[in-house]
Chains A and B, each alone.
Chain A
């Protein structure tokens, strides 16, 4: 079956512009996560959606970052007034439920470059 799909795969933007990154999770997966990975670093948690519950936004680095998940499926991560330090790979993952046994399924990420 289809995996997690992210678009675009690459995005180059000028400092100060807004960007939107899209994630299509695996059909039926109720949980969706966004992570950020800077060059040579591990994954930094950003935000987590579970069903219709309020999202866990505790990892968002500033109020320039926001995310929404429409209809419990597709998610969009928005970065306003981008800065050079926002350059990173943004990874989305989904999983099938709240149980600790279900694994994360990742997309291949969006590589964001802010010039």
Chain B
């Protein structure tokens, strides 16, 4: 039970911003939102995580809705190397510290 909902696939033009949505309508107050991405033939890599406030790092930005029922991963300028499957995950230490991965969003970047 992934407990998050993401579109199966998205496309973006190179050098344009990408907004990857995630719904987590049953999120509890202590659940963090994590994002990972998986490039072909590699294990997933951490992108960003947050609880309530918007977060920025060198890879991306995370915008969390005020009611926390949804979030958006923002890649400010898509490059061909950003083509990957992006996973949005709820994580809570109250549920045994498990990270449940859904099927993610497959992002295609068009040159």
- Footprint of B on A, CB under 8 Å? 4, 31, 33, 35, 41-43, 45, 48, 50, 56, 58-59, 91, 93, 98-101, 103-109
Contact = CB atoms under 8 A, between A and B. Distances in A.
A31 B32 contact: no
Main secondary structure of the interface of B (DSSP, over half): loop
A10 B56 CA distance: 37
A37 to B, nearest CB: 9
**Top 10 A-B residue pairs of the complex, sorted by shortest distance between their CB atoms:** A106-B43, A43-B101, A103-B46, A42-B103, A100-B32, A42-B101, A108-B43, A106-B44, A91-B43, A100-B93
A98 B102 contact: no
B32, B36, B41, B97: which has the most chain A beta carbons within 10 Å? Answer: B97
Contacts of A41: 103
Contacts, number: 61
B98 A48 contact: yes
B43 A48 contact: no
B11 interface: no
Interface in B59-111: 87, 91-93, 96-104
Given A43-B101, A100-B93, 17 more contacts: A33-B99, A42-B87, A42-B102, A43-B44, A43-B87, A45-B99, A48-B98, A50-B97, A56-B96, A58-B96, A100-B30, A100-B31, A100-B92, A101-B49, A103-B34, A104-B36, A108-B43
A45 to B, nearest CB: 6
Contact of B100 (A45, A91, A105, A108): A45
A91 B32 CA distance: 22
A41, A58, A106: which has the most chain B beta carbons within 10 Å? Answer: A106
Contacts of B42: 108
A48 B99 CA distance: 10
A100 B13 CA distance: 34
